[in-house]
Amino acid sequence: MSVDVSATRGIGQPLAPIFTAMAVMVLTILALTFARTADMVAALWAAGGLAVAVWLRTSRGPLYDLCFGGLVACGLAAGNLLAGNSTTTTLIFTIANMMDIYCAVLMARRFAPTLNLASVEGASRFLISAAVIAPIPAAVFIGGMLWFRNGADFMDTAQTWWFGHALSIAVVASFGLALTRRELVRLRSPARATEAVILLGLLTLANVLIFGLQSLPISFVTLPLLLLIAVRLRLLGVTAALLIISVLAIGGSMLGHGPYATSFQGADRAMMAQLLVLFGYLPILLVAALLEERDRLSDRAKAGQVRAERASEAKSRLLANVAHEIKSPVGGIIGIGELWRAGQLGPTSQTQTEMAEMLVKTARQVEALAHDLLDVARAESGAVKVELRPTDVPGLLDDVRRATVLRPEAQGIRIDVISEGDGLVALADSQRLAQVIGNLTSNAVKYGGSGGLVVLRASRIHDGVRVEVIDRGPGLSPEKQTQLFEPFNRLGLERSTVEGHGIGLALAKRLVELQGGSIGVVSTPGEGAVFWVELPSA
């Protein structure tokens, strides 16, 4: 999923770098004035995350990147100077911050180029590359420089820098990337906006009580609230919530409030709050990304289903029209062929009589195909009506057997009917069930008749009646079994001498489903096949 260009158009104006530089300057002053913990390094740093988000959202090419980077560097330098840093310190911190921002932008473009936080993969790629890895070089640089100049502890300085800047990119930059037009449109609904205000308000109140003057031991409520926000407000809500928690938790801990006030001193308090947000609450961002991804896949599935239903309806209409157009002329051909064969159109030779018989036979095959096509079209469109009533299954199987033995292809094949138990009465449409069983029996005779025996068996199952059509033919491979009920699929027998069109089983499946039943096959190559139909008991 690519970035919503229309959503970024408002912040992609030429003035965006200037406003970003001004915002960076203000955030730098605030951070250096109120959030310094380890020597001169701030534990709460939002300027870098803001710059990364806007840079990624508005980038237009190398020249734009150069101008944007220059303006952000000016904003950082101005903020450092206004906060009271010396010129040398300002230079060091500006270089370190630009390393941080540029590495984050570079890593995000390389490993998360779509900037798609609305998927687990996209969010993970962005967090690992831009938030976890990108701040490391700047943390090493600033730790070394402050150790060299001031004798500051290298590890304390580096880790404070890394935690603060990783948190800035993970929370502030993620919030900036999640702030799209689609998310804002969702909040136009008064109900959704009210829900967002209430949930974020409850979260703010809870964290004020936890990390504020009261320091109440109710930190356990934060995680359930975050999960609820992820479910209801998705990605934008979670990133906004993480931003609120970061400010209140780190700020409150630095002021000596909250659960870390008594156990830790100085910079350690801020570091514990940073760890809490990074490893305790930030993973909820992945939960929100997972929910966003599920929503998107669900929308695609629904759209695909609508397209498939429309295509199926169009196909059904086409089949019905073709079947109607075929039936009338074929009926005329059959009539003419019958007259020709009977000699009513004039004397005919033996060859002409055979040709007339062949004509009638072929025309009847086309007529049967037209009827099958019409049945398939009606079944798929829901136009087939079934009348469910108690149906004597053994009697129906016997009728099918008697009709099948009269077919020419059944010569030399024994067809048996087996009824296992009494009261084998199914709730079915007797006419449609006979059509289904007749089709299965005809197929068993045509394709499995080499075994010399076809068995029609009825038995009781726990909540219905099961009918099996068993043959001793060559059987079916697992691959062919998966394709059996596809329309117009004859499993490679198109060039064989066995007649068929490949729609009988597809029609049988639809007719059985309309009667509330199920159909399937069990077969092993070389051991025949068992086609089964299960229907509810009457």
Nearest to 248 by CA among 276, 283, 268, 220: 276
Specify the 3-state DSSP secondary structure of 536: strand
Specify the 3-state DSSP secondary structure of 468: strand
Whole-structure pTM value: 0.64
Check residue 397 and give left, alpha or beta (phi > 0: left; psi -120 to 50: alpha): alpha
Q: Is the dihedral of CA 503, 506, 508, 514 positive or negative?
A: negative
Question: Tell me, what's the pLDDT at 501?
Answer: 55
Residue 142: how many CB atoms within 10 A of its CB?
Answer: 30
* The pair of three-digit structure tokens given for residue 239, joined into one six-digit string: 């990133």
Task: Please report the DSSP string for 10-74 in residue order.
Answer: TTTSTTHHHHHHHHHHHHHHHHHHH-EEETTEES---HHHHHHHHHHHH--SHHHHHHHHHHHHH
Q: Which residue has the tokens 């109140």?
A: 205
Question: Tell me, what's the pLDDT at 490?
Answer: 53
Sort 195 into a burial class: Cβ within 10 Å, 0-12 / 13-18 / 19+: middle
Residue 338: how many CB atoms within 10 A of its CB?
Answer: 15
Rounded Cα gap, residues 141 and 157, in angstroms: 10
* Cβ density class 232-252: b for 16+ within 10 Å, e for less: ebbbbbbbbbbbbbbbbbbbb
Which residues does residue 379 pair with via DSSP β-bridges, in sequence order? none
- Per residue of the chain (538 residues), what is the pLDDT tens digit? 444 444 444 444 568 889 999 999 999 999 888 877 655 677 778 999 999 999 999 988 899 999 999 999 999 999 999 998 999 999 999 999 999 999 999 999 999 988 889 899 999 999 999 999 999 999 999 999 989 988 888 988 898 899 889 999 999 999 999 988 888 888 888 999 999 999 999 999 999 999 887 677 888 899 999 999 999 999 999 999 999 999 999 888 888 888 888 788 777 888 888 889 988 999 999 999 999 999 888 988 898 888 877 876 776 677 667 766 777 787 788 888 888 888 887 788 888 888 888 888 888 777 777 776 776 666 666 667 788 999 999 999 999 999 888 888 888 889 999 998 888 899 999 988 998 999 899 888 888 877 788 999 999 988 889 999 999 888 888 888 877 777 666 554 544 444 555 677 888 888 898 898 999 999 888 888 899 999 999 8
- Distant-in-sequence, close-in-space partners of 62: CB < 8 Å, separation ≥ 6: none
Rounded Cα gap, residues 415 and 399, in angstroms: 12
Question: Tell me, what's the pLDDT at 10?
Answer: 43
Residue 115, φ and ψ in degrees, nearest 5? 55, 35
Report how far apart the first and last C-alpha atoms of the chain are (Å, whole number): 53
Rounded Cα gap, residues 377 and 317, in angstroms: 7
Question: Tell me, what's the pLDDT at 487?
Answer: 66
Digit-coded pLDDT (tens) for 314-344: 766 776 677 667 777 877 888 888 888 888 8
Question: Tell me, what's the pLDDT at 489?
Answer: 62
Q: What is the DSSP letter of 258?
A: S
215, 259 contact by CB (below 8 A): yes
Nearest to 442 by CA among 403, 497, 489: 403
Q: Which residue has the tokens 């449609």?
A: 432
Nearest to 179 by CA among 217, 234, 142: 234
Residue 413: how many CB atoms within 10 A of its CB?
Answer: 19
Alpha carbon 44 to its chain's center: 37
